[in-house]
Structure 1
Amino acid sequence: MSATADPAEDKTSQARRLGLEAGQVVQELGYDDDVDQELRESVEELTGTELVDEDYDDVADVVLMWFREDSEDGDLTDSLVDAQEYLVEGGLVWLLTPKTGRDGHVEAHDIADAAQTAGLSQTVTAAVSKEWSAVRLATPKAAKAGKR
């Protein structure tokens, strides 16, 4: 990498780690004041579209779900089941939870249990933020196809 890296590429690097692509519709659930704004901006920059919220009346390619333990977010399993309603067939859920030691941290075994119960396959974790961990959860059709 040269010392004169393209600033736009740097701005989209977080979204690239999530495997997002230009033109994808990304629905954001669980937004609050504590979310990573740089990650949100990276997603919008890379996809070329604004994030849509839970009021969006069509399907999305990807759901970006911010979730905190013991908060108003409710039950993780129920939230994951609900998130699938917003997805195109074969879509993905990126579950973002506070990192270990931070308020709202969700234990890995709780994520695995909730994902399995919701019918999702946990496939990848990604370092996308200083404060948040990201776990890629695939719907059965996405997992079989190896979709990113």
Structure 2
Amino acid sequence: MGATADPAASGGAAKRLSITPGQVVQELGYDSDVDHDLRDDVEDVTGAEMLDEEAVEAVDVVLLWWREDDGDLVDALVDSLTSLGDNGVVWLLSPKSGRPGHVEPADIDDAAPTAGLHATSTIAVTSDWSGTRLVARGRKG
């Protein structure tokens, strides 16, 4: 049996994002183009539905779906910190290169420090979406 090009197909997308059982995850930037298998995988792993932008409780992880024409990335990143608890992680999910809405890595690299965040890694999350892991500046994890 050959390997699949889609990491989410094996049920490992949430694992690739280091999401663990019991974590509270907030989802921002939802639209019809999001990867529904990834969303289902996250909810299966955490055992709970993801919170939306109206949530006021502290969260462990923010999944921020972002496309090139969604507006000001710095503002969105600052907003993503509103509910983020201590040692929380923001995963900026953007369409891969060549896909509609692709965000240039340089744009992410420019926006993150302005929002008080530091990019620690970028991975292929699904066949259409890349994820950039962002943490508060000063944290190395």
TM-score, structure 1 normalization: 0.85
Task: State the 4+ residue runs in structure 1 displaced beyond 4 angstroms.
Answer: none
| Superposed displacement of residue 19, structure 1 | 0.6
The CA distance in 1 between the partners of 2:131 and 2:45, in whole Å, is: 18
The CA distance in 2 between the partners of 1:30 and 1:116, in whole Å, is: 20
Match of 2:68 in 1: 69
Contact kept? 2:113, 2:137, Cα under 8 Å: no
Extract unaligned runs of 5+ from structure 1. 1-9
Match of 1:3 in 2: none
Structure 1 residue matching 2:22: 3-state secondary structure: coil
Q: Does 1:127 align with 2:124?
A: yes
CA-based RMSD:
1.1
What amino acid is aligned across from residue 43 of structure 2 in structure 1?
E
Match of 1:94 among 88, 91, 96: 91
| Superposed displacement of residue 126, structure 1 | 1.6
TM-score, structure 2 normalization: 0.90
Which aligned pairs between 1:51-70 and structure 2 lie closer than 5 A? 51-70=50-69
CA offset digits 1:75-117 (Å, max 9, x no partner): 0011001101110022110000011111111000000000011
The CA distance in 2 between the partners of 1:125 and 1:45, in whole Å, is: 23
The CA distance in 2 between the partners of 1:105 and 1:127, in whole Å, is: 13
Q: Does 1:103 align with 2:100?
A: yes
Fraction of identical pairs, as percent:
56
The CA distance in 1 between the partners of 2:112 and 2:24, in whole Å, is: 22
Q: Does 1:49 align with 2:72?
A: no
Structure having the higher helix fraction is 1
Extract unaligned runs of 5+ from structure 2. 1-9
Contact kept? 1:90, 1:140, Cα under 8 Å: no
The CA distance in 2 between the partners of 1:113 and 1:125, in whole Å, is: 15
The CA distance in 2 between the partners of 1:139 and 1:39, in whole Å, is: 24
What amino acid is aligned across from residue 61 of structure 1 in structure 2?
D
Match of 2:25 in 1: 26
